[in-house]
Structures are given as structure tokens and as C-alpha cells.
A and B are shown apart, each in its own frame.
Chain A
């Protein structure tokens, strides 16, 4: 989590208005809440604006405040509370590398190093060409495929230094990137063959997990004592 900026950035030098399409979406979002409760729409409106602008500027805060019928400070409170809102301009791609314990144990530092090698950026920096911003994220809930990074809305999992470098190179060259496991796993299925649930689930014992110490386990004596 980065520290909240001391003052609201990007004085209203850059006007903001929703595109026609987003304006319709914004109105649909607001209409979901009853009269007098439009404050509830602040979160989705900020998200929508960030998708359009890339970040939440002062102009965005004021526009959203006006639409939701609250004071700008209330929107600013929300925008600074949630780490997913970018309060400063970011690159075209936002790479968020998870560095929490499971990912770190599985080599998240290599992912950061790959990004540094490909783009020349460190955590918290935007590349000189404005292509990427590298951030550090707290657990994104994909520990089973650690280490991982979120780029935009997609997860890229099972990264190693080489896989991350290949991924980032593809990004730099403008080639298509495929989300999910970079090791070719399907979701979080095990690599290679199944190591568990290998029995036939249709038989009486098949679907049941049997502990080795259980009397019912093959080879166990009836009375362990």
C-alpha cells in the first residue's frame, strides 16, 4: 500500500467528462440505488472513470461527486482509502506483482527483476516510454499458482524469471498476451497428472479420502493398539 498523497494531485488542469457510452453506464449505476442513497454509487463510478482515464484525477473526483450528489471530500476519502484507485497517472499497462509470503517464497522477486530487466523500472515507477507502471500488490488470492502478477484485469500465474521476461517482452513488442497460468496449467489443476482423487468417485470408497492412520486404510490393523 502506498501512502496517501498529501494533497490532491493534478489540479483541475485536465477536464474530465465521461464518454457518451460511459455516461450511460454511469447513469445506470446510479439508478441502481434509491433516491438519497446515490452515495453508494461512488465506488463503481470511480472505477468506471479510472477505466476511461487510467487514474483518478481531481477532475474525476469532482465529476463523480457531482453525479453522486456528495461533497468532493467524500469521494476523495473513498478514492484514497482503496488502493486499487490510482491517484497518479500510470502507464498503459499496470503490472501489479504480488509480493506477499506465498508468492515471495515461490520467487516473486524474480518477477520484479524480470520487469526491471525488460522495462528498466522499479516498484512504484512508470517506464520512460509510458508503457508500464510496476506496483507491488498485497495478496491477490492466487497463491495456488504463485508467484503471480495482475496486469490490467487479468492474472498471470506460475511466473518464473524466464516466463515473466517472455511475458513482458511480448507486452513490449505489442504481441498478444495470454492470461492465466504461464506454465500451461488449466486453472489450478496440478501440473502433469493427478496426484490425488485418483480413485473412481463412483465406488463407495472412491470419493472418500481415507487417512493412512484410519482403520479403514489398506493394510491397517483393526486395532491400532
Chain B
């Protein structure tokens, strides 16, 4: 443990640390552009120059200088400041002074540091260089003349995103950042290079020229467009969400954010349900809340409770689900399900449907088997964590499922579910790999569990995890990767069939045959609407998607940026969104709609405030207790196989996420996501460039 002094403060740093890291330990901030603590060290911007003794009589780059015993560092000496001033002058030689028209203005590292180290005038009299724009896809806008060549974007795309598509070509004054043959970046994490760019060279294309940072009010919330629950900051101006940025959460997303979570927000402006509707003579007409609720209450009361059912969709919050569950109980209907995709998950065994090892825990695993999942598309943030673990080395990864590029090399075990039998009985080569690992991890995806043989797959996967020693006192190496933010919350509140109740397939079958007369869809859009037959459909949600199209009554709800709601991520981590803007028009927070409906039914629920609803949640499961926000309450893994049996089907696993960019009503309404779909899924090139004649 070398001891050194920085600005006279004695620091005990770990061997191998850099001066920059040691300075961070004691809260001394050294200015920087290229250094980023989650990327490799480049040492090319030279902004972090400090004076060091002993050593050569010239300033040294703190980011790349390892600490040594007895080293003396001055970060604010005349030498260091003069050196940085010189660096800044050189950086500004070719940097255009277009801050007034630059989207980075107001949150620009170069702007900020130029205020400290810059000169108020330039000694440079020649012509500044200009660099052509690069086409990096529909999400990243470039202004490469502003680039200072820190290569953070290049390092991020190679190291974290795992798609080596960016590089710096040329040298000296002719150096440029570009993608190979100007192709669009194919990473689901590409939006992060906009955050990383310390200047305005890479800016967000959908957000271009929409707002200035000082006009926005910023609310800390969580993302619900996948089951990971990334920490986000929602920036809004007036009543419009302008952008979403990641927030630091080491347990989940570190400081990254997936592209859909970041850029699908323009979908919050389109296709919104802003007032109740009632179907009359085959068409939906606007109605008042009183009329809509009375219509719903009339149908619910006139129907036999056994012929009423409820389904919760992928974006439903726990508050709404618990009230709807209680309402269905009050009506006397046991037919309800939160697993609209039909996933085989035992509602009574938490450990069987949680991602038990936790996302941060992936870094502790030393072997991984992925069954029927495509983490890159289903949960890009979790995939980045797997890649991070891979990059540490000694991490064999096997994939039994669709062969896709996961951004790290894997051992392809084919896509025949029968392989599971060989794996769990120990007669497969990869079984030995898992057995020899100390902390093996078996990851099961929805592609494996939403099938008819899902129970059998689950049984084999659990048996496999148990036989290879993945289940121990301090390690539960069995994890289910969910694709919907609502799923775990729904299971936790028990939004599952009651005694004798129908599950999703049963409800759809009943609706088709007439055995179910009224179906309440709480944001459920991903079911086969044709299967609902003649049933009376109540749709409560925020977007005019498949469910609203089929509905007989529409109750307009709030999207995740418009309500303070509870979600539980795939690890079982309870987190809350925070109201940033108000729901549009007459739309209301979802739990309030159900509470109002219960009054219209003259079966009023006891919970009249959000606090009361949350107390009700906490009474059902301790994970909802106030102190557990943001924490994972571990589940106890029980080696039982009740219900997990059956015959394996030979059909290959298929990921439920065929198009990462459009998976839910919000992203389907988003024009940005439609543009991404055009480029990345349908392969239309140049979709980011508008010609002016494309309407």
C-alpha cells in the first residue's frame, strides 16, 4: 500500500492505482476528458497533467501514472495549471466556437473546463479544420468538427458494448472518429456514447435542438421498458418528457442505459388515451369518467363472478395490480393472471422466478449457461454485465437457444431442448464445465418458459442447477430473466389465478368459448385479441395499442413517467417511479381508477390513499415494506420440483423479443423506435438521413 501526498494530503492508495484514482479517494478532482473510470486508460487528452516529484521535471498525466511510495503530487501548482492551460489552448485550436448552437451547451465538460483553464482570446490565426459528419444510426447525431479525440466512444463501444465498430482513423490533424464504412452502430447501448462524449461531437439525435439543460426539471425515477429496472433521471420541460438519462446504480445499470429505455420516450406523446371511451354500435366514442365507470360497473355486476376475468400487462404497476386483485376477490372472481405471455412460473416459490444471483452478482459467477434467452435483446444492461464478467476472464459461457451475437464468445450448445436432459443428467460436456465451477450460474429466459413444455424446461433447468452445485449457502446460481417490468411485481402481489381460477390460456380459451363474459385488461396488449371472442373487454392503460383497439370501454391510465408507482425488477428489487409530468387529459393514475371503479361497484376498497395501497402491498409481501425500496430481499431456494415436470418438446427455443426496439405500447408508439426498427431490423440504410421529400 504505497503512501503518497497529493496537494499536501497524505493518501494511502492500493498498489496499481493511478494518481487520478488516488486523488479521487481524497476528493481532489483532477480535470479530465479522456479518462473514465469504467473504460480503459487512454491518456491522450493530457488535461489531467499534474506536477510530480520525484520524476522528470515536466508535468505528468495523472490518469496513467501509477502511484509509488513517497510520491509527491501537486494538482494545483503553477506548473500544473500552466500545463493544463496550454493543453486547453491546443484543444480549442480546432474546436469550433459554436456553443450557442451546440446541444451540449450548458452541460459540456469542455465548456466548463475552458471557464477555468481557457484563455479569453485565441492566439490562433489560421483556419480551423472541419470534419465531415458521420452516420452512426438514428440515435447518435454527430458534429465531428467538435471532436477532441478523447476516444471514450471508441473504448465504450469496444469494451462495454462489445461491438468494435468505432475507431480513430488517420493521425495528427487528420485523425477522425468514424465507424467502419459509415455503418450505423449496431449496439443496444449506443446512446451511452452521447453521455460519454465530453463535448458536443456526439449528441442525441432524437433530442436535437429540443431543449436546453437549464430549462428542464429533473426527476429521479426508474425505467420499466425491460425487466431490469435501470435507474434513470427523467428530464421534462413543462408537461413534456424531453429525455431520459441514466442514473448511477452500481447494483443494476452502473451508469449505462439501454437505447430503448432512453429513446422510446417520444412514444409517450403519441397514441395516448387521454379520456375514457365507450364502444357504441361498433365504434369507440369519447365518454365521461362517470359514464365509463358506470358502464363497466354495470357489466361487472350483471355478469356471474365466475365469468369475469382480469389480465395484467407488461407495464402494470404493483399498486394497480394489488387493487385489481382485491377488487376481483370482492367480486368473487378467481380468474386473473399477470403472466400474459403464459410463462410457467410457480407463484408460491419466489426463488423459482427471480434472478436470484442478482445482476451485480453475475460478476461473482465463474460459469454461465444461458437457456432459451437472448440477454442482448431482452435486457441489454444485464448483457453488459455478463460481458463485463467475460472480460475479467475465466468465464465459460454456454448458450442453449437461438444462436445470436451476444457481444462475447459463447459455446454454442445448439438449440434442441432435449439437450437439457443430457445436461441435467451429467452426460453433456458442458455439465462438467458447470460442475468444475465454484459458482455456476444457470440463466433461464422467457423463450424457454413461455412454451407448452415450459414446466418441463423449468424442471430440467432446476435439476441442472442443483446437480452442478449452483445452489449453496452463499450462492444461488439459478436465475430467471424476465422481459416485462410488471411480471415480478405481479407475482409478488399474487396477481395469479385464485383457487379454481383460470390462467392466461384459460381466460383466453374461456373468452373464446363464451365461458368468460367480461375481461379486464390492465395494460395487457401482447395477448391474441382475436382469442377474446365475444367477451366484453375493459381496457385500462395509457396507449391506444392492441388492447384499446379491441376494448369496449377504455379507462385511460398513466404511463411510468406520470405516476409514483412500484415495480419489482427481475432480481426481486422493489423500486419506485416518480411522477415527472401529469397524465394527459383526463387520464388518471392507475390505482385511483380501480379505486374509483370499486366505488362505482359499491364495493369500495379500503385503500383511499397511495400510502394505504402501499401498506396493503407490504402486508402481502415484506418486499414492499418501505425500508426495502431499492433492495433485494433474497428468496430461499427450495429443491422441490412440484409442478415442474412433463415432456420436453423438440421445437427450438425462440426469444420473445424479436424486435428489441418495439416490445411494449410505449416503444411501439415511438417514432424513434420505428426509425431504429427500419435500420436495425428491416435493414433499411440511410433511414436516419431525411431528404425533405419523405413527408
User: Could you tell me which A residues sit within 8 Å of B by CB distance?
Assistant: 1, 3-4, 6-8, 11, 58, 70-74, 76-77, 80-81
Contacts and interface: CB of A to CB of B under 8 A. Distances in A.
A201 to B, nearest CB: 40
B176 A4 contact: yes
Contacts of A8: 180-181
Nearest to B182: A7
B174 A4 contact: yes
Contacts of A74: 164, 167
Interface of B: 132, 164-172, 174-176, 179-182
B168 A77 contact: yes
A80 B167 CA distance: 11
Contact of B181 (A1, A58, A80, A81): A58
B180 A72 contact: yes
A73 B166 contact: yes
B117 to A, nearest CB: 29
Nearest to B129: A3
Contact of B167 (A7, A58, A76): A76
B179 A73 contact: yes
A103 to B, nearest CB: 21
Nearest to B169: A80
Contacts of A4: 169-171, 174-176
A76 B172 contact: no
A199 B132 CA distance: 64
Given A6-B132, A7-B181, A8-B181, A70 B170 contact: no
Nearest to B181: A8
A74 B159 CA distance: 13
A81 B167 contact: no
26 contacts: A1-B172, A1-B174, A4-B171, A4-B174, A4-B175, A4-B176, A6-B132, A7-B181, A7-B182, A8-B180, A8-B181, A11-B181, A58-B181, A71-B180, A73-B165, A73-B166, A73-B167, A73-B179, A74-B164, A74-B167, A76-B167, A76-B169, A77-B169, A80-B169, A81-B169, A81-B171
A77 B178 CA distance: 10
Contacts of A71: 164-165, 180
B668 to A, nearest CB: 33
Which 5 pairs from chain A and chain B are nearest by CB?
A4-B170, A71-B164, A73-B167, A73-B180, A80-B169
Contacts of A73: 164-167, 179-180
Nearest to A79: B169
B15 to A, nearest CB: 26
Contact of A80 (B166, B170, B179, B182): B170
Nearest to A80: B169
Most-contacted residue by chain B among A7, A11, A72, A77 (CB, 10 A): A77
Nearest to B179: A73
A223 to B, nearest CB: 40
A76 B179 CA distance: 10
A11 B180 CA distance: 12
Nearest to B183: A73
A58 B183 CA distance: 14
Contacts of B174: 1, 3-4
Contacts of A81: 169-171
Contacts of A1: 171-172, 174
Given A4-B169, A71-B165, 15 more contacts: A3-B170, A3-B174, A4-B174, A6-B132, A58-B181, A70-B164, A71-B164, A73-B165, A73-B167, A73-B179, A73-B180, A76-B180, A77-B167, A80-B169, A81-B171
Contacts of A11: 181
Contacts of B168: 77
A42 to B, nearest CB: 13
Give the residue among A3, A4, A8 with the most B Cβ atoms within 10 A. A4
Contacts of A3: 170, 174
A58 B180 CA distance: 10
B433 to A, nearest CB: 19
Contacts of B170: 3-4, 80-81
A91 B171 CA distance: 25
Nearest to A62: B180
A80 B176 CA distance: 10
Interface centre among A11, A73, A76 (most CB of B within 10 A): A73
